[in-house]
Amino acid sequence: MSIIKPISIIFQHPDFIVIDKPIGISVHKDQQAVGLPDLVAAQIGYSQLWLVHRLDKITSGLLILARSSEAAAEFSRLFDERRIEKHYIALSKDKPKKKQGIIIGDMEKTRNGSWKLCHSKTNPAITRFTSVSCEAGLRLFHLMPKSGKTHQLRVALRSLGSPILGDQRYGGKTALDRTYLHAYALKFDYRGETILLKQAPHDGEYFLKPSVRQQLDLLEI
């Protein structure tokens, strides 16, 4: 794993930090000797940091790393109780079946390692969303997952007929400079303190378009 520049630290708390994860970096070690938490720990002079949630390798944005096992346990509780609001943004070139609402259904793994959305709701993935047109042929989605399933948001947008721009696994037709999915905001209470963090994407030709930035500035968290 090669890191050209340091990982951006967005917020520091005695119990945790929040980073802006770049695209192309796995949160786990994979085949590498060092994982993302270890890289960030070395960068800030810590012996260890704890991963408390995940982002796909192709997803950029806000990621919480705990500074202790006790803090990691507290975040596990907050995530289990769905008390941490996660807000993502995504771009698509395809008009959705509906412009806003809830996408709900069980997810089933397919043969090629992808996932699909089912009509059943035994242990469903749940995603609230809104969307707005930025310009002709380009739509911004605001995604608010209420569960944390693998590839949940990518599958959800495919189910709407609006695969994420650049996401070839789930129907994004062409390879681009990145997959246009970004963890934009986090909102939660931690030991009596309300935390609200936002971080706009800083790479990707389409994310940097003025029409997209204008709509992002209007987004309410």
Q: State the catalytic residues.
A: 56
Q: Where are the beta strands (DSSP E) in 7-99?
A: 8-12, 16-21, 50-51, 60-66, 85-92
Read off the tokens for 20: 């802006």
d(CA 101, CA 115): 21
- The DSSP 8-state label assigned to residue 170 in this structure reads G
Report helix, strand or coil for 168. helix
**Nearest residue to 177 (alpha-carbon basis) of 169, 186, 185, 167:** 167
The helix (run of H) or strand (run of E) holding residue 79 is: helix 69-80
Count of CB atoms within 10 A of residue 70's CB?
A: 10
d(CA 6, CA 135): 34
**Nearest residue to 85 (alpha-carbon basis) of 139, 141, 143:** 143
d(CA 17, CA 49): 9
Instruction: Find tokens 């408390």 and name the residue.
Output: 52
Give Cα 3 to chain centroid, integer Å. Answer: 20
